[in-house]
Structure 1
Amino acid sequence: MVPVRNILVARDLADASDAPLSFALACARQHGARIHIVYGALQPGDPDNVPPEAELPDEVFLETLRASTPVSTEELEIQFAVSRGVSPVQALLRYATDQQVDLIVTGSRNHSALRRLLGRSLSQQLARTAPCPVTIVREEARA
């Protein structure tokens, strides 16, 4: 079995489900791994092509990331991070490479059939291009 020392949890600030985080925490406990909870943000740039939130400083994203993540940092080694790139996928992949991540855990949303067909979901793009295994955790059913 390949050792798992670093687990990246791709966290979406707009709709953060706890299912991928719960899965990653269980894996980290089992393997004694470090958790990296990461938000892939867009690089600031041309205001015509980049949304205004890309201009926010990383500290704003980190504060939101910590506040929206229900986890005790006492039980495991947990690191919160913002990674910037031309796309969220590119930002997450760069972080995964730089930090020698052994496993990426991300959620799956109910996207339209066309979007799935075009392969434009973050989880699908990560699974196709990541330098390590990717686990896609289905979101919990909502009542």
Structure 2
Amino acid sequence: MHLLVALDDSEPGWAALEFACTEHPDDEITVVHAVDPTDSGYGEVAHLGPDVLLERQREAAEELLAAAEDRGAEYGCEFETEAIVGQPSDAIVDYAASNDVDRIVVGSHGRTGFSRVLLGSVAERIARQAPVPVTIVR
């Protein structure tokens, strides 16, 4: 089985990686981080320019994925990593559809009520759009 772990730098994201490593140690695992070019702090695009901002986001993604490899090694878990560009839920679903993924594992912040409506849920959008089963870890 080929698992795709969607990783962001959050406790639920790390929990999803731990779940994949401990529950599926013999499966093929790919860990991806979606770099969202539309996600910028106030004024960063105007100050830095979109190309510099995207490059900084890619560098941060590579650092995150290197930390994931270190954490995976603690579990005796090896996997491929990749930084992908796009709105996270769409990019993750597209990657899964294009790369023979059998299951997606993603962390959820567990927001409820108004904050969920306001912020949305990447995990929920992935679960609704994915062409394969999705495991949501909290």
- TM-score bracket for this pair, using the shorter chain length: 0.7 to 0.9
What is the deviation of 1:112?
4.3
1:83-122 counterparts in 2 under 5 A? 83-85=84-86, 87-117=87-117, 120-122=120-122
Structure 2: which 5+ residue stretches go unaligned? 39-44
- How has the CA–CA distance of structure 1 residues 132 and 63 changed in structure 2, closer, same or farther, with 3 Å as cutoff? same
> After TM superposition, which residue ranges in structure 1, 4 or more long, deviate above 6 angstroms?
none
Q: For residue 105 of structure 1, give the secondary structure of its aligned residue in structure 2.
A: strand
- How has the CA–CA distance of structure 1 residues 79 and 7 changed in structure 2, closer, same or farther, with 3 Å as cutoff? same
Q: What is the aligned partner in structure 2 of residue 23 from structure 1?
A: 19
What is the deviation of 1:16?
4.1
Q: For residue 72 of structure 1, give the secondary structure of its aligned residue in structure 2.
A: helix
Q: What is the aligned partner in structure 1 of residue 73 from structure 2?
A: 72
Please say which of residues 95-104 and 108-117 is displaced more in the overlay.
108-117
Q: What is the aligned partner in structure 2 of residue 141 from structure 1?
A: none
What is the deviation of 1:120?
1.7
Matched, 1:33 2:27: yes
Matched, 1:10 2:6: yes
What is the deviation of 1:43?
3.8
What is the deviation of 1:58?
3.2
Identical counterparts, % of pairs: 32
Does the CA-based 8 Å contact 1:10-1:39 persist in structure 2? yes
What is the deviation of 1:75?
3.8
Distance in 2 between residues matched to 1:63 and 1:101, nearest whole Å: 24
Q: What is the aligned partner in structure 2 of residue 129 from structure 1?
A: 129
Number of aligned residues: 128
Structure 1: which 5+ residue stretches go unaligned? 139-143
Q: For residue 95 of structure 1, give the secondary structure of its aligned residue in structure 2.
A: helix
TM-score (norm 1): 0.73
Q: Decide which structure has greater helix share.
A: 2
- How has the CA–CA distance of structure 1 residues 56 and 123 changed in structure 2, closer, same or farther, with 3 Å as cutoff? same
Aligned CA RMSD, in angstroms, stands at 3.0
- How has the CA–CA distance of structure 1 residues 107 and 80 changed in structure 2, closer, same or farther, with 3 Å as cutoff? same
Distance in 2 between residues matched to 1:62 and 1:73, nearest whole Å: 19
What is the deviation of 1:59?
4.5
TM-score (norm 2): 0.75
